[in-house]
């Protein structure tokens, strides 16, 4: 096995092109488990530890660019105010030790349907910046996931960063698992209000071969809020609308039965999470509006 350690992003891309069979290594919280258990015997490890260019974040022109190698712990501390939904999701990942090492780039690289970072990225229309010696592409997050643990990343590409707008309205993330810490999600739901676009964004995890947006539910709620003049004069969200929203989220799921839960349970739980979080974001929005007025 070779241990390849580029010291710059450019060098990392060159090695990636020359050695497409190498396993990329960031925080190692997915890769090392597989190597320790012999599930993976890579011919080479391409370690990004010494490539600092992709380990920070920056903000420009109304977009936050999160380097793929930024550990969750720093994302929570440094971006929690700008990206509350993503930070909520990051807080549920593993334990402090895991959040100190694990990265959003690694979450995307694994492309697990249960990756906790993905729903929040979907709800906020994130773009994934992928790069190779051939150049850079910005992929909408909806086009990134192509199947269970499969992504649109080409063999010579690295994930460089994720781009998304700082929150312009309330955001929520909710996860069902057997306990609070250290669980792979049974199902997850993320929601973001985009008041300036008068739109609602969603993301669902662990309920289909890939993380996905519940577009029918988004469209229903967006139309409902506009149709009833809620953005001009926000009132409590009618129970009927919240219920319908929950039903549409549940109906969009294509879950499976597995050791963590049955498909029926997942669908039911998703409806509950959707209803609960839509109330939370809407109540939050109304309170903030009143405080501003």
Ligand X SMILES: Cc1cc2nc3c(=O)[nH]c(=O)nc-3n(C[C@H](O)[C@H](O)[C@H](O)COP(=O)(O)OP(=O)(O)OC[C@H]3O[C@@H](n4cnc5c(N)ncnc54)[C@H](O)[C@@H]3O)c2cc1C
The footprint of ligand X (CB under 6 A) covers 23-31, 33, 48, 68, 92-94, 98, 101-103, 105-107, 109-110, 115-116, 158-159, 182
Q: Shortest gap between Cβ of 173 and ligand X (angstroms)? A: 11
106 binds, among other proteins, ligand X, none (CB under 5 to 8 A by kind): ligand X
97 binds, among other proteins, ligand X, none (CB under 5 to 8 A by kind): other proteins
All residues at 6 or more sequence positions from 59 whose CB lies less than 8 Å from its CB, including other chains: 65, 82, 166
Q: Which CB sits closer to other proteins, 35 or 139?
A: 35
Q: Which CB sits closer to ligand X, 24 or 221?
A: 24
Token readout for 138 is 């910005």
Q: Shortest gap between Cβ of 3 and ligand X (angstroms)? A: 14
Continuous H helices in 113-214 = 117-123, 141-144
Q: Which CB sits closer to other proteins, 152 or 183?
A: 183
Q: Shortest gap between Cβ of 69 and other proteins (angstroms)? A: 12
Q: Shortest gap between Cβ of 76 and ligand X (angstroms)? A: 13
Q: Which CB sits closer to other proteins, 25 or 249?
A: 25
109 binds, among other proteins, ligand X, none (CB under 5 to 8 A by kind): ligand X
All residues at 6 or more sequence positions from 40 whose CB lies less than 8 Å from its CB, including other chains: 23, 31, 34
Q: Shortest gap between Cβ of 62 and other proteins (angstroms)? A: 31
- Residue 166 is classified by DSSP as P
- Residues in contact with other proteins by the rule CB under 8 A: 1-3, 5, 25, 27-29, 31-33, 35-37, 41-42, 44-45, 47, 49, 73, 94-98, 100-101, 180-182
45 binds, among other proteins, ligand X, none (CB under 5 to 8 A by kind): other proteins
Which has the closest alpha carbon to 151: 83, 84, 68, 90? 68
Q: Please state, as a whole number, how many other Cβ atoms lie within 10 Å of the Cβ of residue 78.
A: 15
Q: Shortest gap between Cβ of 267 and other proteins (angstroms)? A: 28
- Residue 238 is classified by DSSP as P
Q: Shortest gap between Cβ of 256 and other proteins (angstroms)? A: 23
1 binds, among ligand X, other proteins, none (CB under 5 to 8 A by kind): other proteins
Token readout for 268 is 């039911």
Q: For the chain, how many helices (H) and strands (E)?
A: 11, 13
Taking each helix axis from N to C end, the angle separating 72-79 and 84-91, rounded to the nearest 10 degrees, works out to 140
Q: Please state, as a whole number, how many other Cβ atoms lie within 10 Å of the Cβ of residue 223.
A: 10
> What are the Cα distances from residue 241, in Å, to 108, 188, 246, 281?
33, 21, 9, 14
């Amino acid at each position: 096995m070779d241990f390849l350690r580029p010291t710059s992003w450019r060098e990392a891309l060159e090695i990636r092109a020359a050695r497409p069979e190498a396993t990329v290594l960031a925080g190692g919280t997915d890769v090392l488990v597989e190597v320790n258990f012999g599930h993976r015997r890579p011919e080479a490890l391409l370690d990004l530890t010494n490539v600092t260019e992709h380990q920070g974040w920056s903000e420009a022109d109304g977009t936050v660019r999160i380097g793929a190698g930024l550990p969750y712990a720093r994302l929570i501390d440094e971006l929690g105010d700008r990206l509350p939904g993503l930070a909520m999701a990051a807080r549920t990942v593993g334990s402090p030790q895991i959040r100190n090492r694990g990265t959003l780039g690694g979450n995307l690289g694994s492309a697990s349907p249960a990756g906790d970072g993905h729903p929040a990225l979907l709800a906020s229309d994130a773009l994934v910046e992928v790069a190779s010696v051939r150049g850079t592409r910005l992929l909408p997050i909806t086009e990134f996931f192509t199947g269970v643990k499969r992504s649109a990343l080409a063999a010579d590409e690295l994930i460089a960063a994720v781009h998304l707008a700082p929150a312009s309205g309330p955001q929520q993330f909710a996860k069902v698992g057997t306990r609070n810490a250290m669980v792979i999600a049974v199902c997850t739901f993320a929601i973001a209000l985009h008041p300036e676009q008068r739109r609602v964004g969603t993301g669902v995890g662990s309920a289909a071969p890939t993380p996905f947006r519940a577009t029918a539910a988004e469209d229903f709620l967006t139309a409902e809020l506009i149709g009833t003049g809620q953005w001009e004069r926000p009132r409590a969200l009618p129970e009927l609308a919240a219920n319908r929203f929950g039903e549409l989220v549940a109906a969009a799921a294509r879950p499976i039965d597995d050791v963590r839960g049955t498909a029926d349970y997942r669908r039911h739980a998703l409806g509950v999470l959707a209803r609960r979080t839509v109330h939370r974001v809407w109540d939050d929005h109304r309170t903030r509006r009143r405080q501003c007025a």
